[in-house]
Structure 1
Amino acid sequence: MRDEYLKKQARWLSEGQIGRRQFITSAIAAGLAVPTALTLATDVLAATPKSGGKLRFGSSYGSTTDALDPGTSENGMSQSINYARGNHLTEVGKDGKLIPELAAGYEPSNGAKTWVFDLRKGVEFHDGKTMTADDVIATFNYHRDENSKSAAKGLLSAIKEIKKDGDNRVIFELEGGNADFPYIVSDYHIMIMPSVDGKIEDPNSPIGTGGYIVESYEAGVRTLMKRNPNFFKEGHAHFDEVEFITLADTTARQNAIMNGDVDFIDNVDPKTVSLLGRVPILEILQTTGTQHYTFPMRVNAAPFDNYDLRMALKYAIKRQELVDKILLGHGEAGNDVPVNASMPFFNTELPVHEFDAEKAAEHYKKSGHSGAIQLSVSDAAFPGAVDAAQLIAASAKEAGIEIELVREPSDGYWSNVWNKKPWSACYWSGRPTQDWMYASAYTADTEWNDTAWKTGESADKFNDLVVMARSETDEDKRKEQYWEAQRLLQDDGGAIVGMWANFIHAHSKTLAHDEHVAANWQADGGKLAERWWFS
C-alpha cells in the first residue's frame, strides 16, 4: 500500500504536478526517514527528462571521407548523426524490442512475402515538407538501384516491388517470405529522405525528420545541430543543441571527458576503465550486445584465396589472450562466426577455433605459402587493434607463420583500407538477427562483404541457406539451416572473429538516461542524442 502511494507521488513529482517539498512531506508522512525521503526526491528528479543544454559527444569514429548520404554511412559517428537528424520505418527500442517509428504499424500476409506499413500522419521534414509514401518508396528505390553503392543494397535485394495505397500506406512485395523484414527496415542506412517527383535528388542533403536539424557539418571533424521544434516524437530530443566531435585518438578522447570538454565518449579503452571510473564527475556505462572485432581475409586476393592458409591463421590465434589483454576481460572469445549465444539459432556444436600450433603449422605447410603475410591495422578499427595484431603476430610465430604488420593512418581507414586491403582489422556492432548480419556483411550481394567470400561450393551453399532460412516458418528446419550456414562460414569463410567486446562508454554525471539502455549499437543504440538529457 505504501509502495503504491510513493510510486504515485513520484509520478506526480516527475510530471511537475507537485513540488520537491510536497513530495518529501508526503514521503515522511508515509513513514520514510528524512534522509531517505530527500534521496528519493533527488533520484526521481534526476530520472525526469528535462529540456535544455548542449550535448557534446566525443566519438572515436569519423573520417574526412564521410558524407551525409545515409547509404554510405560506415562508422559510429555517421550513424549517430543520421539517427539524430532522421528516422526509419522501425527502430530497436531501449529494451531491445522492435517498435514502429515512422511507421504507425505493419502487418505481413502471403507467408510474409507481403508487408504493409501504415505511416504516421503529419510527420514533417526539417524544411516543412510532409512525409508521404512517395518519400518512403523513393528512399528504398535509391538504395535498391542497380547502380547504387549503398551498404543497404544487399539487405533490400529480396524486394520485388514497392507500391503505395494512398499517401500513408506502403506495400512491399518480396521474392520470398521474410519474417525479419521489419528489422531490416530499421537499418541505419535506410533513413527516410525527402523526394522530389518520386526520386531522391540529393542523398547528401542534411534534411530529415529527426529530433535535430543540422546547422553545420564538417566530415570527420564536427557536426553541430539544434533541436527540431516540430519533432513528431513527444518526450524525446531534450537538448537545445548537440555537437558531435571526432576524437579518434584514445588519449585525446580520454582527456576530453576527464577535463569536461565533452559530456560523453564512446569506445573507452579497457585499459583506462578503472582510471576513468575513479574520476568523481564521471560514470562508466557498459552494455553487452553483439559487437565483435574481426580480421577479415579477402578470399579473392592471394594468399587468402588458399583454404589451408586461412585455416592456418584461424588456428594461429590465441583468442582468450586477446580477451584478457585487449579487452581486459570485458568480452569473450570469438569463434569465426558473427553469431553468439545472445542471438537466435546459435550453433552450439561448432568446432572451437582456439590456438593450436600443430594444426596451424600443418595447414600452413599444405598451403605452400612462404614469406611474410601482411596485416593492415590501425586503432581506428577498434581500441587496441594494433596491440591485438601484435599478439596475433606473436602467436602465429609459434606456428612458424610470419606476419608483417602494416600500420595504416587512422583518417581514411574505413575508405582506403577496410574492404580493400587483403587482410585488415575491423569491428562490427552486430545485428539483432542472423539474416540481417549475413545480409550486411556475408552474402554475395552486399557491398560490405569484407571477406569477398561470394563464390565457390561452400559460399554458394551458404547463400542458398540464408535465402531458405529467411522464409522458413518451421523453427526446427530454420535451426538446421542456420546451423549449417554457420558451419560453412566458420570453415571456409574469410572472417576471423577474434573476440566479442562489450560497449564501454564514459559520461558526465550531469547526463541522465532511462533505466533501459539499448545494446544493439553503442551509445544507447546510437540514439543517445534523442533519448538522454541533462539532470
Structure 2
Amino acid sequence: MLSRRDMMKQGALLVAAGGGALRSCPARAAQPLRGGHVRVASTTGSLSDTLDPARESMATDYMRGAMFYDGLVTLDATLVPQPALAERIESDDFRTWTFHLRPGVQFHDGATLTSADVVYSLRRHLDPLVASQVRFQARAMRSVRADGPLGVVIELDAPNISFPSVLGLNNFAIIRDGTKNFETANGTGPFRCAAFQPGIRSLAVRNPDFWKTDGVWIDSLELISISDDMARHNALLSGDVDIIAEVNPRLVALLRQRGMGVMESPTGTYTDLAIRQDIGPGKNPEFVQAIKHLFNRDQVADSVWLGFCRLGNDQPLPPEDRYYNHDLPQTVFDPDRAKWLLNKNGFLNQELPPLICSPAANASVDIAVLLQNEASRIGMKLDVRRMPADGYWSQSWMHFPLGFGNVNARGSADMTFSLAFASAAPWNESHWRSSRFDELLALSRREADEAKRKAIYYEMQTLIHDGSGLCIPNFITSLDGYHQRIRGLRPHLGGHLMGNNFSRFIWVDENAGARETESAPA
C-alpha cells in the first residue's frame, strides 16, 4: 500500500467528477433524505461581508453567494464548466459567444429570469464604482447584448476558448436587472436569504421554486464565521456546528478519533515565495535559481502540511490538472548548488532583503523559518520579517523583493496563466516578463485542437518553471471537517467545501452514527 508520502510524490491523490477517495467521506445511505437544519463555520467574517456577488472576496462570501445565486455556468468537481442558467452555449470562433437561457427560471421575488438580467449583471462589473473583484476578467468582454428574451451575445476583445470557465467564477452570478440594494439577496439560487448580519451570521432557507429539480436536500443552513482555529474545531467536536472549513492538519487525527469526518480535496492552492525580478537580488537569475534549490520541499511537506499536500515544481498547475506538464525536471533540494551560485555572485557577503511573511498567507511564517534555517547552514544570512495579517494583501504583498503569497485554485489553466504570469497580469507576483509566454497565451485561447493546446500549455509551464521568480514548494490539500450525520460532501479540485458550493449537495442522515456502529467490524 502506498504511504501518504508516496501518494504525494507520485501525484496519486486524484479526484473524479463523481467522487474521490472513499476514506474522505462516510458511507452513504441508500439515497439522500430531505429535511434538516445545518450549521456551518467558516474562517473569515467582517463588517465588509457582502451579498453583492461582484464584491465577494472571501471564502465566506463565496459560500453565502453560492446559496443564493446562480451563474450562467458552474464548475464541476474537476473544474470543467457545466450548464447552469445557460442551458446551451455556442461559439464558432471563440470570440463571439451566444448563451441560451433556461426558460421559466424565477428570482426569489417571483420575477422571471430574462436576458436583461444577464446583460445588467455582466455589464456592472465594468463600472469602477461597483468595485468588482473580477473587473480585470470582465474587461475582456467588448460587448454584452440581449438577443431576444432568452438569448445573450457576448463579444470578446480576442478569442478565448476558456471563456465559459471565467463565467463559472462566483462573482459572475446573475442578479435581477437594476438591483442596487444588497441588504438581502434576490437571486435564482437554491436558498432564499432569511437573515444576513455581516460578520456574524447568514441564514438560508430552501427555495421551493428552485429551477433545478434534483438535489438541494436540506431545509435550512446557518453560516457563521469562527476565525480562531481551536474555537472552530471545538465547535465541531461539541456539536455546536455540523461542518467546519479549513481543518488544521495537526488536528485531523483528533477529529477522526472523535468520530468526525475529514474531507481531503487536492487543489491547485499553494503558498509561494515570490522573488521580484525587477528590483533587488532577484534581477540576477542565478539568485532565483539558488533560492529554489534551498527549498527542502519534503521537509515543508512533512513539518508544515503534515503530508496533506503534493510536491510542487515551481509551476502553477497541480498534478491533478489535465494540462499539468509531467515532463518538467523536478527542482531538487541542493544546498551545495545553491551555495555555489550565491558565492559566485557575491550574495553570501551581501546584506539581503528580508523574507516578508504573514499569517495572512497560509503557513508562510513556518515556511520562511525553514528557508531561513537552510540559508544559515550554507553561511547565508536571511532575515524573516513577519507582517500583521490585517492589511497584508494591500500593503505588503508584491511590494517587497522577497515576499510570500497564497494563491487559491483557479477555474482553468487559462485563468492561472492570465491572472498571474502574463506580462500585464494584475497578480504577477515576481514581475516576470516573457514575450514568448504572452504569445503562447494568445495562441492557446484560439486553439480548438485539445492536443495542440495541451502542448502549448506544456511550453508555458516550462517557461514559468525555468524563468519566473516564483518558488512553489507544494500544492495544498484542502481539509474540511464534518459530523457523520452530514452526507453528500465530495472532494473537489476547487477546495474549500466543494469549491464553496457544498450547500447544494449535502443532506442529513440523523441515524448515521448508529448505522455505522452496527456495521463496524467486531
Task: Tell me the TM-score normalized by structure 1.
Answer: 0.81
Amino acid at match of 2:504: E
- Number of aligned pairs? 482
Instruction: Determine if the alignment matches structure 1 residue 451 to structure 2 residue 429.
Output: yes
Q: Cα distance, 1:532 vs. partner?
A: 0.6
CA contact (8 A) 2:50 2:182 kept: no
Which residue number in structure 2 is paired with residue 48 of structure 1? 32
Which residue number in structure 2 is paired with residue 22 of structure 1? none
Which residue number in structure 1 is paired with residue 328 of structure 2? 350
Q: 1:9-20 counterparts in 2 under 5 A?
A: none
Instruction: Determine if the alignment matches structure 1 residue 73 to structure 2 residue 56.
Output: yes
CA contact (8 A) 2:430 2:470 kept: no
Q: Following the alignment from structure 2 to structure 1, what is the Cα–Cα distance between the partners of residues 482 and 461?
A: 37
Structure 1: 5+ residue stretches without partners: 1-41
Q: Cα distance, 1:265 vs. partner?
A: 1.2
Q: 1:142-153 counterparts in 2 under 5 A?
A: 142-145=124-127, 149-153=131-135
Distance 1:238 1:157, change over 3 A: same
CA contact (8 A) 1:84 1:530 kept: yes
Q: Cα distance, 1:136 vs. partner?
A: 1.5
Which residue number in structure 2 is paired with residue 84 of structure 1? 67
Q: 1:270-289 counterparts in 2 under 5 A?
A: 270-280=249-259, 282-289=260-267
Instruction: Determine if the alignment matches structure 1 residue 183 to structure 2 residue 157.
Output: no
The partner residue of 2:350 within 359, 366, 370 is 370
The partner residue of 1:499 within 449, 474, 489 is 474
Q: Cα distance, 1:403 vs. partner?
A: 3.2
Q: What SS does the corresponding residue of 1:523 show, helix, strand or coil?
A: helix
Distance 1:70 1:316, change over 3 A: farther
Distance 1:250 1:352, change over 3 A: same
Which residue number in structure 2 is paired with residue 478 of structure 1? 453
Which residue number in structure 1 is paired with residue 504 of structure 2? 530
Larger radius of gyration: 1
CA contact (8 A) 1:139 1:190 kept: yes
Which residue number in structure 2 is paired with residue 140 of structure 1? 122
CA contact (8 A) 2:266 2:495 kept: no
Deviates more, 1:165-174 or 1:310-319: 310-319
Instruction: Determine if the alignment matches structure 1 residue 381 to structure 2 residue 364.
Output: no
Q: 1:211-230 counterparts in 2 under 5 A?
A: 211-230=190-209
Q: Deviation digits for residues 68-122 of structure 1, max 9, x if unmatched?
A: 443343332222122112111111235654321111111221x322221111223
Distance 1:137 1:259, change over 3 A: same
Distance 1:95 1:532, change over 3 A: farther
Which residue number in structure 1 is paired with residue 303 of structure 2? 325
Q: Cα distance, 1:522 vs. partner?
A: 2.1
Instruction: Determine if the alignment matches structure 1 residue 106 to structure 2 residue 89.
Output: yes
Which residue number in structure 2 is paired with residue 335 of structure 1? 313
CA contact (8 A) 1:304 1:422 kept: yes
Task: Tell me the TM-score normalized by structure 2.
Answer: 0.83
Q: Following the alignment from structure 1 to structure 2, what is the Cα–Cα distance between the partners of residues 274 and 129?
A: 49
Which residue number in structure 1 is paired with residue 514 of structure 2? none
Q: What SS does the corresponding residue of 1:502 show, helix, strand or coil?
A: strand
Q: Following the alignment from structure 2 to structure 1, what is the Cα–Cα distance between the partners of residues 196 and 282?
A: 39
Q: Following the alignment from structure 2 to structure 1, what is the Cα–Cα distance between the partners of residues 356 and 206?
A: 40
Q: What SS does the corresponding residue of 2:442 show, helix, strand or coil?
A: helix
CA contact (8 A) 2:87 2:100 kept: yes
Q: Cα distance, 1:237 vs. partner?
A: 3.4
Amino acid at match of 1:187: L
Which residue number in structure 1 is paired with residue 109 of structure 2? 127
CA contact (8 A) 1:295 1:496 kept: yes
Q: Cα distance, 1:523 vs. partner?
A: 0.4
Q: Cα distance, 1:533 vs. partner?
A: 1.6
The partner residue of 1:57 within 35, 40, 53 is 40
Instruction: Determine if the alignment matches structure 1 residue 521 to structure 2 residue 499.
Output: no
Q: Deviation digits for residues 454-480 of structure 1, max 9, x if unmatched?
A: 6x4x2x332221111111124454234
Amino acid at match of 1:131: L
CA contact (8 A) 1:418 1:450 kept: no
Q: Cα distance, 1:324 vs. partner?
A: 1.5
Q: Following the alignment from structure 2 to structure 1, what is the Cα–Cα distance between the partners of residues 494 and 391?
A: 25
Q: Following the alignment from structure 1 to structure 2, what is the Cα–Cα distance between the partners of residues 62 and 440?
A: 25
Q: What SS does the corresponding residue of 2:89 show, helix, strand or coil?
A: strand
Amino acid at match of 2:488: H
Q: Following the alignment from structure 1 to structure 2, what is the Cα–Cα distance between the partners of residues 220 and 363?
A: 49
Percent pairwise identity: 27
Amino acid at match of 2:366: D
Which residue number in structure 1 is paired with residue 149 of structure 2? 167
CA contact (8 A) 1:123 1:130 kept: yes
Instruction: Determine if the alignment matches structure 1 residue 296 to structure 2 residue 279.
Output: no
Which residue number in structure 2 is paired with residue 195 of structure 1? 177
Q: What is the aligned-residue RMSD (CA, Å)?
A: 3.0
Which residue number in structure 2 is paired with residue 490 of structure 1? 465
Distance 1:296 1:355, change over 3 A: same
CA contact (8 A) 2:189 2:207 kept: yes
Distance 1:441 1:64, change over 3 A: farther
Q: Following the alignment from structure 1 to structure 2, what is the Cα–Cα distance between the partners of residues 141 and 445?
A: 22
CA contact (8 A) 1:296 1:450 kept: no
Structure 2: 5+ residue stretches without partners: 1-25, 510-522
Q: Following the alignment from structure 2 to structure 1, what is the Cα–Cα distance between the partners of residues 218 and 287?
A: 52
Amino acid at match of 1:75: M
Distance 1:44 1:263, change over 3 A: closer
